[in-house]
Chains A and B, each alone.
Chain A
C-alpha cells in the first residue's frame, strides 16, 4: 500500500496568493482528517470527513480556509488569501471507520507564506 499521499511536499508562496494542498487517502479508508502543526500551537485538527462528508470543521481557523472531498480518493485544503501566520506543516491522515483503527498520517506539506 502506498500510504497517504500528499502534494506538494513543500510550498512557498507570497501573502495574498491562493494555496491548494492535496491528499489521497489509503484505499479502503473512509475517514479523512486534515491537521496543522506549528511550534506555537502544536498539532491541531482542522476538519475531518467520513464517507466524503465533512463532519466537523470547527477547527478551521478562518473563512480563508476551505476543504473538499469530491470522492473517496481525493481531498483538497485551500487557503485564499494566504497569510504569513498560515505557515505550518499540514498533515492529512486517513483511517477505517471503527474505534480499533488508528489514523495513518501522510508525509505532510510544509507551507511557507512570505
Chain B
C-alpha cells in the first residue's frame, strides 16, 4: 500500500522567513504533485514533478523531487501572508492515469 507522509503537519511562521515542507512516499514513483487548498475551497494545482531531480519554481515557492530517496520538498522563500493555506503532496504510481494518494497536508499559517 502506497503511503505518503508530510511533515510538518502544522507550521506557523513569520513573514520574511524561509521554510521547507517535506513529503516522503513509500513506493517507487516518478510523478509527484503539489496542491494548495484554502479554507473551504477546492484544491489548486501548484507543481507537477515528473522525473528525478526535477525542480520547479513559481514565485516564492520551489518544489523538487528525489525519486531515489522518495522525497519531495516544497520550499518557501521570504514567506508572505498570502501563502497561508494547506499544502498537499500527492503521488500516483501507474502511468499518470491513476488516482492520487495524498499526504495529510501541511497547514501553514504565516503571521504578519
Q: Chain A: residues with CB nearer than 8 A to chain B?
A: 31, 33, 35, 42-45, 48, 50, 55-56, 59, 91, 93, 97-108
A42: B residues at CB distance < 8 A: 102-105
Given contacts A91-B42, A99-B50, A104-B45, contact A45 B101 (CB under 8 A): yes
Q: How far is the CA of A105 from the CA of B102 in the complex (A)?
A: 14
CB distance from B65 to the nearest CB of A (A): 13
With A42-B104, A105-B44 known, 12 other A-B pairs at CB within 8 A are A35-B99, A42-B102, A42-B105, A43-B105, A56-B99, A98-B97, A99-B50, A99-B95, A100-B48, A101-B48, A103-B100, A106-B42
Q: Report the bound CA distance from A101 to B31 in whole Å.
A: 10
Q: Does B78 contact A (CB under 8 A)?
A: no
Assess whether B25 is interfacial by the CB under 8 Å rule: no
Inter-subunit contact A48/B102 (CB<8 Å): no
Interface flag for B43 (CB, 8 Å)? yes
B87 interface residue per 8 A CB criterion = no
Q: Is the CB of A56 within 8 A of B105?
A: no
Q: Which of B42, B88, B96, B99 has a CB less than 8 Å from the CB of A98?
A: B96
Main DSSP-derived SS at the A contact region:
strand
Over the window 48-71 of chain B, the binary record of Cβ atoms lying under 8 Å from chain A Cβ atoms (1 yes, 0 no) is: 101000000000000000000000
Name the residue on B nearest A43 (C-beta): B102
Contact present for A45 and B96 (CB under 8 Å): no
